[in-house]
Amino acid sequence: MSEIFIPTMLFWENGNTWYGSLGNTRFYAAPQEEQIHVELWRGPLTKELSEIEAEADFPLSEEGLSEMTAWLEARSAEINA
């Protein structure tokens, strides 16, 4: 897969969390009070066994999902370069 997959708004509105990856990039995203909080690290280990390299919050909206996807893809391009 050459791009990061992010679930739809309904997924987040129901309080679900998401782990994803692209190349050597790993991330965890969780909805928190009208936002989605994202933590990013380098693979291959789990989040608990890794150092979080970046964190960010995005609005829980369609625009926020687009911003989150762009941010993750930019960070992934840096890590996987």
Under 8 Å CB-to-CB from 66, ≥6 apart: which residues?
A: none
In a domain, 53, yes or no: yes
| Residue 2 pLDDT grade (very low, low, confident, very high; cuts 50, 70, 90) | low
**Using one digit for the tens of pLDDT, what is the confidence trace for 22-47?**
999 999 999 999 999 999 999 899 99
The domain total for the chain is 1
In a domain, 1, yes or no: no
Domain region containing 32 = 9-80
- Looking at the whole model, is its pTM more than 0.85? yes
